[in-house]
């Protein structure tokens, strides 16, 4: 079923065995990447996967890390639609503008992709208790998939996490810990409390190897939706960066599979002005980012002061000749209202931020009317009733 061969460190390349529970590299502490026998996969699937596969991210199962299908923990992860935004495109002078709407996934956000994969792999490895620090949506998704798998979840959230996220975790039976501060403070608390519970498995993004594999399916899906001619530009609201790194990995795999050529979209990270460590690092041509002090933004998913795999985000931005841009909260929320009224799509604030970046990028000449542009809406706007008056 799966062409998985091993896990490889993203920095020192040390190999790790996927039959054992793994987190990050034992030698250098960096993110592990799942590797597959792509040569064999290429022979078996020379032209992608047949249309007749399941209409779900599990259609990519040969390139995903779950070895036995009975270990899959699923809540119905459908292929998310690619929707044209003609009115917005005409107003901005960008005739080839699309949104990929991730709000339709289980638990209302793209975090379902990563957590479906992490919980399925945890199930396969016999893990019974999971824990996570989260900005909100990852916690909701982990709680849901853990409930489905009969696992216990321990959730650490900033105390000002959107109320819906707290309530969904509680409804799914997770144990919720609210922590003063941001996601870094939540992680610190979790790591203290985990010392007394060695059986808890940490599902922090990119410290756990398989959430990335779930997120990479965004890259596979959109390639198919664009008939394997990738868009010129992808705008991705970036916190921990898992989706951006995952898509970048998917494009690399697809080239090795012979499904696409070497051309890549320009990857653009959108962050909030009140928490923009990747934008600052990109502008300073750094290979990693510095911790962002006093991070503030209503786009809670973007309030990540220092991403664990910042170097992989920045590599993708540089290698793709992309860029990084920050927008103010007012601009993000104005875009949420505008896109709802103009397109009938209720974006999350992070998706609003990505749309709000379009005029800025036009001004900076980072995008042009000839470009085909795909913007990610990463969650359903109806999860944030308090943000829209």
The answer to whether residues 326 and 303 touch, using CB atoms and an 8 Å cutoff, is no
Indicate the burial class of 265 (C-beta count within 10 angstroms; 0-12, 13-18, 19 or more): buried
How far is residue 34 from each of residues 4, 27, 330, measured CA to CA in Å? 7, 17, 39
Tokens 């005739």 locate to 95
- 56: its two tokens: 């779900």
Among the residue ranges 30-38, 131-139, 258-266, 288-296, the one whose residues contact ligand PLP (CB under 6 A): 131-139
Among 2, 182, 217, 238, binds ligand PLP (CB under 6 A): 238
Using left for φ > 0, alpha for ψ between -120 and 50, and beta otherwise, residue 294 falls in left
* 12 touches Zn ion by CB under 5 A: yes
- The site string for ligand PLP over 138-177 (x = CB under 6 A, - otherwise) reads x---------------------------------------
Residue 350 in contact with ligand PLP, rule: CB under 6 A: yes
Among 219, 241, 277, 305, binds ligand PLP (CB under 6 A): 241
Task: Give the interface segment with ligand PLP, choosing from 37-45, 57-65, 73-81, 241-249 (CB under 6 A).
Answer: 241-249
28 binds Zn ion (CB under 5 A): yes
**Residue 281 neighbours by CB under 8 Å, 6+ apart:** 287, 288, 289, 290, 310, 314, 324
Q: Please identify which residue in 2, 107, 137, 204 interacts with ligand PLP, judged by CB under 6 A.
A: 137
Contact between 378 and ligand PLP (CB under 6 A)?
yes
Q: Which does residue 161 bind out of ligand PLP, Zn ion, none, counting CB within 5 to 8 angstroms by kind? A: none
Q: How far is the CB of 274 from ligand PLP (least distance, A)?
A: 15
Q: Which is nearer to Zn ion, 23 or 152 (CB)?
A: 23
Q: Which of 1, 15, 21, 27 binds Zn ion (CB under 5 A)?
A: 27
Alpha-carbon dihedral angle through residues 136, 137, 142, 147, given to the nearest 10 degrees: 90
Regarding 289 and contact with ligand PLP (CB under 6 A), the answer is no
Nearer to Zn ion, 8 or 160 (CB): 8
Judged by CB under 5 A, the residue of 4, 7, 9, 206 near Zn ion is 9
- Chain positions 90 to 109 lying near ligand PLP, rule: CB under 6 A, are 109
Residues touching ligand PLP: how many (CB under 6 A)? 18
Which entry of Zn ion, ligand PLP, none binds 27, CB below 5 to 8 A by partner kind?
Zn ion
Query: Which residue is nearest to ligand PLP, using beta carbons?
Result: 301
The stretch among 115-123, 235-243, 319-327, 332-340 that binds ligand PLP (CB under 6 A) is 235-243
Q: Which residues pair with 154 in a beta bridge?
A: 131, 175
Q: Which stretch binds Zn ion (CB under 5 A): 22-30, 136-144, 159-167, 194-202?
A: 22-30
Q: What residues make contact with Zn ion under the rule CB under 5 A?
A: 9, 11-12, 14, 25, 27-28, 30
Q: What residues make contact with ligand PLP under the rule CB under 6 A?
A: 109, 135-138, 205, 237-243, 301, 348, 350, 378-379
């Amino acid at each position: 079923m799966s062409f998985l061969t091993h896990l490889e460190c993203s920095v020192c390349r040390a190999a790790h065995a996927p039959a054992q529970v793994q987190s990050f590299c034992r030698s250098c502490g960096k993110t592990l990447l799942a590797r597959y026998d792509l040569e064999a996969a290429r022979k078996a699937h020379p032209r992608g996967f047949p249309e007749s596969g399941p209409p779900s991210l599990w259609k990519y199962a040969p390139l995903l890390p779950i070895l036995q299908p009975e270990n899959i923990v699923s809540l119905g992860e459908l292929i998310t639609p690619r929707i044209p935004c003609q009115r917005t495109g005409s107003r901005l002078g960008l005739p080839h503008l699309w949104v990929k709407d991730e709000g339709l996934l289980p638990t209302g956000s793209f975090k379902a992709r990563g957590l479906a994969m992490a919980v399925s792999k945890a199930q396969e490895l016999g893990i019974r208790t999971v824990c996570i620090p989260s900005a909100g949506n990852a916690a909701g998704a982990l709680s849901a998939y853990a409930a489905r798998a009969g696992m216990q979840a321990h959730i650490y959230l900033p105390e000002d996490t959107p109320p819906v996220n707290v309530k969904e975790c509680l409804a799914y039976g997770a144990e919720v810990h609210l922590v003063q501060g941001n996601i870094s403070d939540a992680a610190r608390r979790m790591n203290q409390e985990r010392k007394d519970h060695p059986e808890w498995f940490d599902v922090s993004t990119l410290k756990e190897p398989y959430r990335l594999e779930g997120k990479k399916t965004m890259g596979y899906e959109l390639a198919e939706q664009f008939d394997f001619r990738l868009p010129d530009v992808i705008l991705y609201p970036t916190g921990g960066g898992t989706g951006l790194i995952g898509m970048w990995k998917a494009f690399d795999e697809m080239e090795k599979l012979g499904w696409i050529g070497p051309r890549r979209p320009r990857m653009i990270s959108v962050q909030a002005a009140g928490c923009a460590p990747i934008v600052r690092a990109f502008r300073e041509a750094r290979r990693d980012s510095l911790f962002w002090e006093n991070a503030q933004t209503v786009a809670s998913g973007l309030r990540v002061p220092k991403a664990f795999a910042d170097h992989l985000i920045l590599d993708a931005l540089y290698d793709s000749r992309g860029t990084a841009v920050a927008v103010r909260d007012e601009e993000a929320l104005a875009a949420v209202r505008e896109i709802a009224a103009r397109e009938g799509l209720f974006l999350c604030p992070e998706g609003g931020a990505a749309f709000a970046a379009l005029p800025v990028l036009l001004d900076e000449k980072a995008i042009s009317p000839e470009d085909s542009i795909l913007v990610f809406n990463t969650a359903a706007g109806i999860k944030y009733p308090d943000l829209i008056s």
